Every structure is written in structure tokens, then in C-alpha cells.
Structure 1
Amino acid sequence: MLPSQSYVNISFFQPHAFLMIGIPGLEAVHGWISIPFSSMYTVALTGNCLILLAVRRTPSLQQPMYYFLSMLALTDVGLTLSTLPTTLAVLWFDHRLIGFNACLVQMFFLHSFSVVESSVLLAMSFDRFVAISNPLHYAAVLTNNVIIKIGLAIVARATLSLFPAPFLLKRLNFCPNKILLSHSFCFHPDVMRRACADITINILYGLYVVLSTGGIDSLFIVLSYVLILHTVLGLASPRERIRAFNTCVSHILAVFVFFIPGITMSMIHRFGRHLPPIVHALVAYIYLVVPPVLNPIIYSVKSKPIREAMIRMLKRKDQG
């Protein structure tokens, strides 16, 4: 073996595990902080599962709009389960270690569900556009087969977009003294900056994924609502305008709840390294935990059919 080859093999280092952190500077009160986090995770899982059951068990809800809502609820369940084990392990038991490969797996699913959520919100904006601009052909355009194909395309897009991420990280040489992550979960920008190597490819890849998924999705969502607004303003009756716009309010709120923290988090990771660690942590938790909590609340409050279906299910459970 050549001396240079031996040196490369010896100098290459990948940690067996990373050390996670909860809320920086508040480690002494993690037990108390775990109470609101546990409550939010419970609300997220319960609310989204109730939406899935409501759509499944209510024939009147088995139409395109609520199928897309079911996709959103299922995605929120996946996003919640991606961060719940490690976050609560840190807050409850101060169990801060996560294996290197386990970290990459969590990172893949966390980012994949984020891409899926962005894509589902785009599909929901298309659904609202068709429903408002061409209501007579709504059922003909968004058939069950079309919705299934959209769902499969969304999953394929997320999988293919994030598939290279773990392999691009595994090729890097990491620093033995830089195994402390900034969150209680594995986030791609955070993990790649633990490396003692050139991460230009990883940065460019991460930027490409953000722009080709969330960036494009947000632009098309804005375009959809420009067209929706044009259609709504063309309606003769003010009552019809209000009723048409009201069907979009829930989706608009869900878009803001997801994209504003997501954009803020991306900007902070790229340009806000000088900010206190607690700012990074709080923005990350808002991005990953708050949307799954708020989406079921938004739709149960703003959508009367969903609210009534959920109430009926809860009453049956109490009577049983």
C-alpha cells in the first residue's frame, strides 16, 4: 500500500454518533419544556388522525378537496413522527446520542416529508383553482385516478430529490471535535457543517433541492392564487365572490404556516450564523412542529363538513 493511501485511510473519520442539543441555554428546564412539546405532538397526531378517519368514514367527504387534505394530514403525521422520538428523548431523558446512520435516516425522512408537504400544498392550490375557475368540470378533471397519480408523483419527487443526501454526507470526512448538532434532530445544513472537508457540493445540492421544490412550489402557488383572484373578481355577485374566496382561506393559512417558517429557517442557516443558537433552535421547532399542530385546527375551524364529521366521530366514541 502506498504511504499516501495509508494516510488517507487513517485520516478519514466518521463519528459513530452525534450529540444532539435541545433548547440551547435552557437545558436545566428541559423537563418543563417537554410539557408543551408533548402537548403539541399529541395535538398534531390526534388532530391529523381524526381528519384521516373523518374523510375515510364520511361518504360526503370522499371528493378531491378532502383527498388532498388527507394527503396533507398523512404528511403531517410523518413529519411529526420524524422528530418526535429524538426530541422527546432529549427533553425527557437527556438521551442526546444518535448514531451516524440513524441520523442520516432521520434526516432523509424529515426533509422528504417537508418536500411532500410543499408539493401537497401546491396540489391543493391547483384543486382550488379548478374548483373555482371550472366548477362544472371539477369532478371530471380531478378523478380518483388523477389524484392517485398526483400522490405517487409527489412521493417520487420527494424520494428522488432527497435520495442523494445521505450518500453525499457519507463521503465527507468529519471532525472528531465537532459532533454536537444544533437541534434535537438531524437537519441537513447542520450535519454537513460538522465536516472537516470541502462541502461546496453539499451546499449547492441543498440549494438546488430548496429551489427546485419549495421555491418552485411557492411560485406556482402564488400564480394559482393570482388566477383564482382574477376568476373571483370576475364573478357578478359579491356574495359569490365571498363564498368562492372562503373556500381558499384554510389553504392560504396552511401555506403561510408552512412556508414562512421554512423560508426563515433556510435564510437563518445560510446567512444568520452569527445569531444566538436559541434562535436557530426555535425557528427549527416552529417549522417542523407548528404546521402539523395548526393544520388540523385550521381545517376543523374553517371547514364545516370536516368539523361536523369529527364531532360525530367523537360523539360515537363517547357513546360507545
Structure 2
Amino acid sequence: MSDFNTTNFTNPSSFILLGIPGLEAAHIWLSIPFCIMYAIVVLGNFTLLFIVKKESSLHVPVYYFLCMLAVTDLVLSTSILPKMLSIFWFNSREIDFNACLTQMFFLHSFSMIESGILVAMALDRYVAICHPLRHSTILTNPVVGKMSLIVALRSGVLIFPGLLLARQWPYCRTNIIPHTYCEHMAMVKLACADIRVSSYYGLFVVFFVTCLDVVFISISYTQILRAVFRLPTKDARCKTFGTCGSHLGAILAFYIPCVLSLLMHRFGHSVALHFHVLLSNMYALFPPMLNPIIYGVRTREIRDRLLRLFTQKGN
């Protein structure tokens, strides 16, 4: 590995991913839980997509958003897991420069898309509870399509400047990235230049997107709670708010690891590097794994159709 750790090159053709620094001897064992998590991600999200596709009664906005969330989770986890497992199993650490930028794009852009989808789902819950009679006329298929396009465009517009900055920096210190994937700041820190523009822009994007999306979600749920508390009986209040349970679970599964990872990167300088890397991987894998479980358990329509599917196969 020392051959790669040189200071006599500029703009290397490839980088070397270390995996989880300090835990190299445990890579094989660490691959087991990561592999199990990825299997749950693939099986759970493809099952959700299959059920929604097969059941015409589920062709409504809330399940369209759920399908978008499933596709986003599949892309997000697949952008890092295969390479990570190749490092753990085959010691395949090298990654092409352009492949590194591509991985970075998919990871960060689809994380942003997932946040946007959670905002769209919050809007769906707001309309369904606060304006139930107008739900079908407000959230029509063209409106859902436009919302999805806005979420995707926002991600591309905000991510591309960071990628262009990362691409133009001269990398003449080392090409070793102490991570399992090409994370933006882990890569940019290798540049032998003043990278404050990249650092500040990355912070701006994270805080702008996270804060803006959390504000929109909070406003939606404030209005939802006001509508729920106006209902006459406790049972009606519980039943109505219960329809938000799956979405709230998805919000917590996404934003809690996101905030912990952000705080760790910015303020946890005394924390061991391997803990940083493990937390970053959990941020990319935990929501995609939990989302199909949350919606499968909490959503009666999906649970009933899943049970019907297995019952039919059993017969």
C-alpha cells in the first residue's frame, strides 16, 4: 500500500479506499452484518415495489411516494455496498477517479432526494388529514410528477457544483481515502489547495436542505396536530394520527443518523476514525433497511397484501 502513498503526483487516476481504518483485521466479520442489512434492503424494497405494482388499489399518491422512497433507498445503498463488500472480501481497494466522483454523486444526491420525498409525503399526510375531501383533486398524478421532478432537480442543481469543485482540485498529497466509500469531505481533504470553498459549500448544502426540509415537515405536522385535536373523540384522534405512524418512523430513521453523522464530522474530532466511518455507513444503510420494515408492519394495506401473497403461494 505504501506505493500509493506518495507525494509526487497530481490528479491521480485512482484512489485507494482503506475500508474501516483500525479495524482491517475485522473486515470479514464486519461484512456479515452489512451483508445482512443489504439483503434486507434489496428484499424489502423490491417487495414493496412489487406489491404496489400488482395492486391497482394502491395506485394513489401516498404509495407513489413510497415507491419513490424504495427506489431511492435501493440506489443509495447500492452506491456504496458492493464496493464496500469487495474491500472486505477481496481487498479490492482501488477505485477510479471518475468512479469515485460518480459514487459521490449518487450517494449525496439520493440522500437529498430521500429528504425531499419525506417532505412530499408530509404534504400528502397534511392534505389527507386537513383537507380530506380535496385530497384527490389537490394531489393529482401530474402534481405528484411535478413534485418528484422538483425534488430530483433540486438535488442535481445543489450537488453538481460540489462535484465540479472536487474535480478541479489538485490532489498531490496522497490518494488514500480513509473510508469505505468516496465521501465528499474525506476526498476533498486530500487536495493540496485551499479547500474552504468546498467545505463551506458542503456545509451550506447540508444545512440548507436539512433545515428547509425539517421546517416544511414541522409546519405540516403542526397543522396535522391542530386538525387532529379538533376531532371529537379520543378514538378518532388516535386513528387519524395513526395514519402518520409509518411516515414519522421513516423521518426518525433518516434524520437521526443524519444529524448524528453531521455532528460527529464537525465536532467529534477526538472520536476514533473507525467510529466516524461506521456511523457514516449506518447513515447510508439504516434508513433503506428500516423503511420497508416500518411500512410493511405499520401499513395495513401493504401488510394485508403481503400476507395474501404468501397465502396464495402456500395454496
Which bracket does the TM-score occupy, shorter chain normalised? Answer: over 0.9
Match of 1:142 among 134, 139, 142: 139
Cα distance per residue 1:38-65 (max 9 Å; x no partner): 1110110110011011111101211111
Query: 1:15 aligns to what?
Result: 12
Distance 1:200 1:32 in 2: 38
Query: 1:106 aligns to what?
Result: 103
Seq. identity, %: 43
Match of 1:156 among 137, 142, 153: 153
1:48 aligns with 2:45: yes
Normalised by the size of structure 1, how large is the TM-score? 0.92
**Equivalent position SS for 1:19:** strand
Normalised by the size of structure 2, how large is the TM-score? 0.94
1:1-320 matched pairs, under 5 angstroms: 13-177=10-174, 179-316=175-312
The 8 Å contact of residues 10 and 172 in structure 2, kept in 1 or not, is answered as yes
Distance 2:187 2:289 in 1: 26
Cα distance per residue 1:212-250 (max 9 Å; x no partner): 222210111112111111111111111110011101111
Cα distance per residue 1:128-154 (max 9 Å; x no partner): 011110111111111111111111111
Give 2:22's aligned amino acid. G
Unaligned runs of 5+ in 1: 1-10
Distance 1:317 1:278 in 2: 45
Give 2:23's aligned amino acid. L
The 8 Å contact of residues 15 and 176 in structure 1, kept in 2 or not, is answered as no
Give 1:286's aligned amino acid. M
**Equivalent position SS for 1:98:** strand
Displacement of 1:192 after TM fit?
1.0
Distance 2:252 2:74 in 1: 19
Give 2:270's aligned amino acid. H
Displacement of 1:274 after TM fit?
2.6
Count of aligned pairs between the two proteins = 309
The 8 Å contact of residues 253 and 287 in structure 2, kept in 1 or not, is answered as yes
**Equivalent position SS for 2:107:** helix
The 8 Å contact of residues 46 and 70 in structure 2, kept in 1 or not, is answered as yes
Distance 1:317 1:13 in 2: 59
Query: 2:4 aligns to what?
Result: none
Distance 2:277 2:71 in 1: 25
Distance 1:46 1:133 in 2: 35
Cα distance per residue 1:6-48 (max 9 Å; x no partner): xxxxx88112221112223221121122111111101101100
Which stretch shows the higher mean deviation, 228-237 or 25-34?
25-34
Distance 1:227 1:283 in 2: 34
Distance 2:52 2:171 in 1: 47
Cα distance per residue 1:143-199 (max 9 Å; x no partner): 11111111111111111111122210121122333x222321111111111111101
Unaligned runs of 5+ in 2: 1-7
Distance 1:12 1:22 in 2: 23
Cα distance per residue 1:43-96 (max 9 Å; x no partner): 101100110111111012111111111111111011011112211111111111
Distance 2:40 2:250 in 1: 16
Give 2:231's aligned amino acid. L
Cα distance per residue 1:272-308 (max 9 Å; x no partner): 2331012101210110011100000000000111112
